[in-house]
Amino acid sequence: MNGITRLAWAPVVVIGFAAGYGAGPSGSVIAQRTNATVPALPADQSGALNQVNGVHQPPEFKSTIPAPLLPHRLRTMWPNQPNESTFWSIDDIRNAHRLLAEADRAGRTMDPNTALHHFPYWTRTHAMFIKHVPQNARRSLADQHLGYAQFIVIMGGTGTVVAGGQLTRPMTLDERGREIPGEMRGSAITGGETFTLKEGDWVSIPPNSPSQFKADSVDGLTYMVMKINAQLYPWDLTR
């Protein structure tokens, strides 16, 4: 009888140990309890389509959904962008080329961006500039810009652009002892394609593609270049 009683203590010891171990830091009950606190989503927020409070709803076949008016300038998708449109007539564009050509012939220096209203045009994502290449430009370097693409509209005059290929004798642009990373210059281009340009033509130049413009008319060649930032590139490095 005494032996049977001692044998009965064995399960008591096992049960006691198991309960103590389970309540301790290593116990799976606590481990599960501390991590099983992810709240369940309400049925209509669970991502299921056409569910309202867990009940399937037929889709609404509305032909139109009115859009609410949002207060202007309070939206945040386009920080640092203009609030109004800008229009340039072809008459003003041609006049800008004429002014630059006259300045050329008179030997006057003129900033091309002063020839047309709203230039230079800066935004966070893109910027627009006017360039003028005189026919007798003594030193016309080839450019290569690693940080932006270019979309170019010829405003007046005639000439050529060599684009693509490789810069001849490439070097990083140096401005008064400061190197401008990503702005490469060369004396010419080898292996590029030559395009003839006249008023109204467009040219698209991808980032890192060299280009070199030359004028072949007495009025020179005037063009507008839209520089579209590759979006990792600081604007103060663009030339």
Partner 1 sequence: MLRTGLLLLISASIGYVASAWTGPPAPFPGSLMAQGQTRPAGRGGPGVPDIPPVANPPLYPDLNQPSKPMHYSVDLVRRIHEVRKANALRGNTAQPAPGDPVLQGQSYRTHHFGVSSSGYGITHRQKYETPRPSPVTGVMSYYEDADQHEGVTDFLILVGGGGQFVVDGEIENREYGRDPWTQGRGVPPRNTGNVRPLLLGEFHGQPLKGGHVYDAKAGDWLIVPPGVPHWWLPTPREGMSYLIVKVNIGLYPTALID
Instruction: Choose which of 3, 7, 25, 109 interacts with partner 1 (CB under 8 A).
Output: 25
Cβ proximity to partner 1: between 100 and 127 the closer is 127
Total binding residues for partner 1 by CB under 8 A? Answer: 88
Assess 188 for contact with partner 1 (CB under 8 A). no
Q: How far apart are CA 88 and CA 84, in angstroms?
A: 13
Instruction: Choose which of 46, 202, 217, 218 interacts with partner 1 (CB under 8 A).
Output: 202
Task: Select the span of 21-29, 47-55, 106-114, 130-138 touching partner 1 (CB under 8 A).
Answer: 21-29
Q: How far apart are CA 142 and CA 145, in angstroms?
A: 10
Structure tokens at 87: 């229009």
What Å distances lie between residue 77 and 15, 27, 62, CA to CA?
63, 50, 28
What is the SS3 assignment for 106? helix
Task: Give the β-pairing of 178-186 and 193-197.
Answer: unpaired
Sites for partner 1 among residues 87-146 (CB under 8 A): 87-90, 93-94, 121, 123-126, 128, 146
Binding mask 203-222 for partner 1 (x = CB under 8 A): xxxxxxx-x-----------
Binding mask 139-178 for partner 1 (x = CB under 8 A): -------xx-x-x-x-------x-xx--------------
Instruction: Choose which of 117, 195, 217, 239 interacts with partner 1 (CB under 8 A).
Output: 195
CA dihedral 83, 84, 85, 89 (to 10 degrees): -140
Structure tokens at 159: 């000439």
Assess 6 for contact with partner 1 (CB under 8 A). no
User: In this structure, are residues 229 and 148 in contact, taking their beta carbons and an 8 Å threshold?
Assistant: yes
Sites for partner 1 among residues 61-90 (CB under 8 A): 61-67, 69, 72, 75, 77-78, 81-90
CB-based contacts of 223: which residues, under 8 Å, 6+ apart? 130, 131, 152, 153, 154, 155, 197, 213
Assess 7 for contact with partner 1 (CB under 8 A). no
CB-based contacts of 196: which residues, under 8 Å, 6+ apart? 158, 159, 160
Instruction: Choose which of 1, 2, 26, 169 interacts with partner 1 (CB under 8 A).
Output: 26
For residue 186, the minimal CB distance to partner 1 (Å) is 16
Burial class, 164, CB count within 10 angstroms (exposed 0-12 / middle 13-18 / buried 19+): middle
Instruction: Choose which of 7, 36, 55, 106 interacts with partner 1 (CB under 8 A).
Output: 36
Task: Select the span of 43-51, 104-112, 134-142, 187-195 touching partner 1 (CB under 8 A).
Answer: 187-195
Task: Select the span of 97-105, 107-115, 136-144, 189-197 touching partner 1 (CB under 8 A).
Answer: 189-197
